[in-house]
């Protein structure tokens, strides 16, 4: 009985984390895909579309893990859950805004994702660890790509740098919730899924982005201060659901027609 | 002297040799190619929009990923073709920016099918299955083109288009085997697209430009030959999935060895392409304007940043 109860608790925690990771990747990948055909140059269109596909593929992997934890079928988890049931950080569902907001958001998300994946790659659970290792390889290229954009826009000065500063100011309040977990991170450490506590991961995140943001002329030091003011030690609160609601309304354009095989 | 040069060029063409970007070529060969490839490039890019509309709405994770990959491919084809067009345009003093401006000013046309609405998920399937199926036929007919850079790019494009066709076919099969209302949605989409797809191959008359392209071995088949090939390949497939082709006059004339069909309204469709007056023409040109003109600040910033990095 105790073993079964333990397994249920474990599944609830791990499934909750898988859903968070899945919702974040799906929403960001969806937002990325809104740039299809609209990126500043056709070469970038192709590159960005590739990144968008990676994100949705990662989401698919995490939804399948949630399914394995007994949360329901992967597509239903991706498409049919209400906005209020979502576990994403608010930043992932925000509308795209301009190119500066798009690339800076992506850069910050990728930086955190890399830190988080590196910790999951050392997990005691081989399914989680091998999935995280595979994604880390792809995220490495996303990170390089976005880093280049952020630095270039910052160094260009003028309108581009002004837009980048505007994007930074808009993104800063969203960072404490991004760099957090929808389930209690200490429980993840106790289960051996997360190899390091949240405070360590936050330090690694700040260390990863500081130099690049400074090169781009952004006040990077504000991030550490903002995170310190909002530690988010337990499970972070659910994001306000208006952005997710708008996003899901589009996403269910076909499924809402009726139950069917598509 | 110029005449001798031209004669030597034609001798190369007749021997089946391939022409490279830096080889000498007659002006009208360059212009014919540029017009063809520029329109092809732009059509690939404009062709991304009808399907892009369905990426956010795709009904499963698998469909979403596969449609995103397809739209990416189309933009990628546009990019490859633009590079070929840029090389041809350079001696004329025209660059990528101008080739793109031409979409917005209406100087370059794009295929009739991309001026149309795609109001249901079934339309996204029909585009992959039949529009890409039609494109495979016109593009494989160009694989032996005398201009080597175009032929090389087409090889990759054709390989990818065949994945697109399978992607479309997979969507179609799910709908055809699905609920009655899904089959109805599919039939309606076919009804919407049929005439446009027949027009896609162009009017049967061999224009002066088409005749010169054949002399130069840029292309070797007429529009009508390609349309006939499409009908031979797809009429049985469409019927096999239980769909009805919306043309009561469609039949295979055994004696002539040709398909007979109700002709598309050549004049109406030509005007759609020439004047950008299809139901979605202006909306899609506006999207391109958004990408090209509204994002100009990003391209300018990149140039400044890279220049600053070098200095």
pLDDT per residue as tens digits for the range A140-175:
999 999 999 999 999 999 999 999 999 999 999 999
Query: Would you state the pLDDT for residue A189?
Result: 95
The closest of B190, B217, B168, B219 to B40, measured between CA atoms, is B219
Shortest distance between the Cα of A6 and any Cα of chain B, in A, equals 31
Write the residue in A36, A156, A252 that is nearest to B71 by C-beta.
Answer: A36
The CATH number, out of the four listed (1.20.120.450, 3.40.190.10, 1.10.3720.10, 1.20.1260.10), of the domain defined by the range B2-310: 1.20.1260.10
Range with lowest mean pLDDT among A192-196, A255-259, B105-109, B234-238:
A255-259
The closest of B49, B34, B208 to A36, measured between CA atoms, is B49
Whether B309 has a pLDDT exceeding 90, the answer reads: no
Whether B103 contacts chain A with CB within 8 A: no
**In whole angstroms, what is the distance from residue B168 CA to residue B170 CA?**
5
Whether B56 contacts chain A with CB within 8 A: yes
**In whole angstroms, what is the distance from residue B189 CA to residue B19 CA?**
42
Query: Would you state the pLDDT for residue B306?
Result: 85
Chain mean position to CA A223 = 17
CB contact under 8 A, B79 and A159: no
* Domain A2-257 = CATH 3.90.79.10: no
Shortest distance between the Cα of A242 and any Cα of chain B, in A, equals 17
Residue B203 φ/ψ region, left for φ over 0, alpha for ψ in the -120 to 50 degree band, beta for the rest: beta
Read off the pLDDT band of B52 (50, 70, 90): very high
Read off the pLDDT band of A2 (50, 70, 90): low
Instruction: With beta carbons less than 8 A apart as the criterion, state whether A168 and B311 touch.
Output: no
> How does pLDDT run across B205-239, given as a tens digit for each residue?
999 999 999 999 999 999 999 999 999 999 999 99
Whether A1 has a pLDDT exceeding 60, the answer reads: no
Query: Would you state the pLDDT for residue B2?
Result: 81
Whether B55 contacts chain A with CB within 8 A: yes
3-state secondary structure chain B: CHHHHHHHHHHHHHCCCCECCCCCCCHHHHHHHHHHHHHHHHHHHHCHHHHHCCCCCCCCHHHHHHHHHHHHHHHHHHHHHHHHHHHHHHHHCCCHHHHHHHHHHCCCCCCHHHHCCCCCHHHHHHHHHHHHHHHHHHHHCCCCCCEHHHHHHHHHHHHHHHHHHHHHHHHHHHHHCCCHHHHHHHHHHHHHHHHHHHHHCCCCCCCHHHHHHHHCCCCCCCHHHHHHHHHHHHHHHHHHCCCCCCCCCCEEECCCCEEECCCCCHHHHHHHHHHCCCCCHHHHHHHHHHHHHHCHHHHHHHHHHHHHHHC
Whether B40 contacts chain A with CB within 8 A: no
Query: Would you state the pLDDT for residue B1?
Result: 63
> How does pLDDT run across A22-35, given as a tens digit for each residue?
999 999 999 999 99
The pLDDT of B108-136, averaged and rounded, is: 97
Chain A partners of B65 at a C-beta cutoff of 8 Å? 53, 56-57, 60
Write the residue in A33, A43, A153 that is nearest to B79 by C-beta.
Answer: A43
Whether A102 has a pLDDT exceeding 60, the answer reads: yes
The closest of A59, A61, A54 to A33, measured between CA atoms, is A54
Chain A partners of B171 at a C-beta cutoff of 8 Å? 262
Instruction: Tell me the average pLDDT of chain A.
Output: 95
> How does pLDDT run across A209-252, given as a tens digit for each residue?
999 999 999 999 999 999 999 999 999 998 888 999 999 999 98
Other C-beta atoms lying within 10 Å of the C-beta of residue B301:
26
CB contact under 8 A, A153 and B72: no
The pLDDT of B36-51, averaged and rounded, is: 97
Whether B141 has a pLDDT exceeding 90, the answer reads: yes
Instruction: Tell me the average pLDDT of chain B.
Output: 96
């Amino acid at each position: 009985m105790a073993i079964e109860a333990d397994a249920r608790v474990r599944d609830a925690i791990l499934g909750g984390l898988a859903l968070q990771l899945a919702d974040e990747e799906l929403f960001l990948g969806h937002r990325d895909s809104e740039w299809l055909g609209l990126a500043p140059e056709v070469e970038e269109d192709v590159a960005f579309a590739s990144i968008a596909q990676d994100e949705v593929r990662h989401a698919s992997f995490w939804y399948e893990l949630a399914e394995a934890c007994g949360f329901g079928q992967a597509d239903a988890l991706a498409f049919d859950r209400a906005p209020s049931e979502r576990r994403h950080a608010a930043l992932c569902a925000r509308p795209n805004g301009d190119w500066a907001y798009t690339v800076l958001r992506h850069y910050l998300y990728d930086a955190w994702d890399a830190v988080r994946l590196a910790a999951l790659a050392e997990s005691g659970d081989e399914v989680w660890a091998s999935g995280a290792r595979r994604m880390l390889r792809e995220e490495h290229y996303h990170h390089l790509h976005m880093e280049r954009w952020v630095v270039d826009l910052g160094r260009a000065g003028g309108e581009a740098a002004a837009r980048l500063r505007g994007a930074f100011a808009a993104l800063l309040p969203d960072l404490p919730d991004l760099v957090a977990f929808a389930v209690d991170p200490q429980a993840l450490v106790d289960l051996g899924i997360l190899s390091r506590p949240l405070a360590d991961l936050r330090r690694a995140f700040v260390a990863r982005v500081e130099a690049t943001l400074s090169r781009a002329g952004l006040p990077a030091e504000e991030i550490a201060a903002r995170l310190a003011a909002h530690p988010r030690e337990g499970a972070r609160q659910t994001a306000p659901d208006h952005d997710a609601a708008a996003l899901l309304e589009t996403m269910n354009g076909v499924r809402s027609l009726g139950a069917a095989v598509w | 002297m110029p005449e001798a040069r031209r004669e030597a060029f034609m001798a190369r063409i007749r021997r089946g040799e391939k022409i490279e970007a830096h080889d000498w070529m007659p002006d009208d060969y360059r212009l014919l190619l540029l017009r063809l490839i520029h329109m092809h490039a732009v059509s690939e890019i404009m062709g991304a929009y009808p399907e892009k509309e369905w990426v956010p709405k795709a009904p499963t994770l698998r469909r979403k990923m596969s449609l995103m990959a397809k739209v990416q491919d189309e933009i990628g084809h546009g990019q490859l073709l633009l590079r070929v067009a840029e090389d041809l345009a350079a001696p004329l003093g025209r660059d990528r920016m101008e080739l793109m401006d031409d979409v917005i000013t209406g100087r370059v046309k794009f295929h009739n099918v991309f001026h149309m609405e795609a109001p249901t998920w079934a339309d996204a399937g029909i585009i992959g299955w039949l529009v890409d199926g039609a494109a495979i036929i016109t593009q494989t007919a160009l694989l032996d083109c005398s201009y080597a850079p175009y032929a090389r790019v087409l090889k990759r494009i054709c390989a990818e288009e065949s994945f697109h066709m399978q992607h479309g076919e997979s969507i179609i099969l799910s709908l055809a085997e699905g609920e009655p209302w899904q089959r109805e949605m599919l039939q309606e989409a076919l009804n919407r697209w049929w005439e446009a797809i027949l027009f896609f191959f162009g009017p049967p008359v061999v224009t002066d430009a088409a005749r010169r392209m054949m002399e130069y071995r840029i292309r070797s088949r007429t529009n009508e030959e390609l349309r006939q090939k499409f009908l031979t390949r797809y009429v049985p497939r469409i019927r096999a999935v239980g769909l009805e082709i919306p043309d009561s006059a469609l039949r295979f004339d055994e004696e002539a060895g040709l398909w007979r069909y109700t002709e598309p309204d050549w004049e109406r469709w030509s005007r759609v392409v020439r004047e950008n007056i299809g139901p979605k023409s202006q909306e899609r040109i506006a999207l391109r304007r958004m990408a090209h003109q509204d994002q100009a600040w990003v391209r300018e910033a990149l140039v400044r940043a890279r220049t600053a990095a070098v200095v």
